[in-house]
Amino acid sequence: MADTAKIQVDGKTVDLPVMKGTDGPNVIDIRKIYAEADVFTYDPGFTSTASCESKITFIDGDKGVLLHRGYPIDQLAEESSFLEVCYLLLHGELPSAPQYAEFESNIIHHTMLHEQFDRFFQGFRRDAHPMAIMVGAVGALSAFYHDSTNINDPEQRMISAHRMIAKMPTIAARAFKYFRGQPFVYPRNDLNYAENFLRMCFSVPAEEWVPNPVLTRAMDRIFILHADHEQNASTSTVRSAGSSGANPFACIAAGIACLWGPAHGGANEEALNMLAEIGSVDRIPEYVQGVKDRRYRLMGFGHRVYKNYDPRAKVMQKTCHEVLAEVGHQDDPLLKVAVELEKIALSDPYFVERKLYPNVDFYSGITLRALGFPAEMFTVLFSLARTVGWIAQWKEMIEDPAYKISRPRQIYTGSGPRDYVPFDKR
């Protein structure tokens, strides 16, 4: 493709530079189009618009490829650990052994929350959704850790990144314990990240929790699969909030709020509800007909970017079988429904023509349920894992000299100018 693209508006030709990335489609730089041609561009949902330049994650949706800093997700999920992926996302390179040891120790030694923070949870209603608690509690971190909210100081940016990666499992586990009505469990520095989190969720004073390596490895892998996904809705929300100079804790709280929606992070909860509603394999054809009649969507299917099998879904499917076998649920009726539904959808022209494939959420609900989590916790786990992606993207934006406050334009279709009418004349 040429280095410039031409656009004609009212007989005037404007030359626009064409940017080339390492991979992916070329990008037409339209920044000067308003100044030179007095027009805006229109792209609701940003389906054709690159909002930033990034070196963190690459997705080829047609081929079903996902790379973090160049490394394929399946290799990271098989061979790496979540904390190593965190380092990679934050720093751009895999750590050396001493770098990793220092990073891991740093995270593990910052998992405790200020004691006063625990009292904050008591203000929520007993039946509060754990995601409601997450939005509030993570936003409240800015009130407890003032000393790392100066976004212009690189050291404070890194401290806040470490604090959030370290404290998210503690906050998420407390949201769960509060929801369950059980006492909070303090973190332990001799356990790894996933073990520590599972213990804070499942240990009770009456019975100590014993780590199961298959389940802790599965938890760690699920965190890896959700660590980052380039400019999705919640990440764009974090960048947008951060573009005004807001502190990092507030920005991550904004990302959590966005993630909660059923079209985004809430989809695994919805996918599990859907499988339960279908209930048995013989009811699948009737349910699929309802999807074709557009009465509802097949949750855990389809993706804005992937028009092929989501590479995360492949790893999740394998992890699902491993976890279910380990906990003795291999005959789970919902797994049977999921496997059969996937088979039918992958061969049905309605889904094939629209390139609708299973996404990461299709198997994650069944897996998380087998790990012992209720559906209300699924999006909480997603937000815990995505925190590193959000913060790496936020840092990248702050460190990009070209960054500007996010301020989209609009096409106004409301009323023209008119005079105010007092009450007695309306």
Whether 109 is a known active-site residue: answer no
Q: Cβ distance 172 to 148 under 8 Å?
A: no
Task: Please identify which residue in 167, 303, 386, 395 interacts with ligand CMC, judged by CB under 6 A.
Answer: 303
Interaction residues for ligand CMC, span 146-185 (CB under 6 A):
none
> Residue 397, SS3?
helix
Edge to edge, what strands does the sheet with 4-9 contain?
4-9, 12-19, 27-28
Whether 361 is a known active-site residue: answer yes
Residue 302 sits in the site that holds ligand CMC (CB under 6 A): yes
Residue closer to ligand CMC by CB (options 155, 293) is 293
Residue 129 sits in the site that holds ligand CMC (CB under 6 A): no
Q: Are strands 65-68 and 12-19 parallel, antiparallel or unpaired?
A: unpaired
Residue 225 sits in the site that holds ligand CMC (CB under 6 A): no
Residue 307 sits in the site that holds ligand CMC (CB under 6 A): no
CB of 269 to ligand CMC, least distance (A): 11
Residue 226 sits in the site that holds ligand CMC (CB under 6 A): no
| CA-closest candidate to residue 174, choices 128, 219, 256, 118 | 118
DSSP 154-185: HHHHHHHHHHHHHHHHHHHHHHHHHHHT----
CB of 8 to ligand CMC, least distance (A): 29
Chain-centre distance for alpha carbon 268:
12
Task: Please identify which residue in 87, 178, 301, 373 interacts with ligand CMC, judged by CB under 6 A.
Answer: 301
Residues 118-157 as b/e (b if ≥16 CB within 10 A, e otherwise) read eebbeebeeebbbbbbbbbbbbbbbeebeebbebeeeebb
Residue closer to ligand CMC by CB (options 125, 295) is 295
Per-residue binding string, ligand CMC, 355-394, x by CB under 6 A, is -x--xxx---------------------------------
Which listed range, 84-92, 125-133, 197-205, 301-309, lies at the site for ligand CMC (CB under 6 A)?
301-309
DSSP 377: G
Write the CB contacts of 166 (distance below 8 Å, at least 6 apart in sequence): 106, 107, 108, 109, 110, 111
Alpha-carbon dihedral of residues 291, 297, 303, 307, nearest 10 degrees? Answer: 0
Interaction residues for ligand CMC, span 256-285 (CB under 6 A):
263-265, 267
Q: Which of 68, 162, 229, 303 is catalytic?
A: 303
Residues classed as catalytic: 303, 361
Binding site for ligand CMC (CB under 6 A): 229, 232, 263-265, 267, 291, 297-304, 354, 356, 359-361
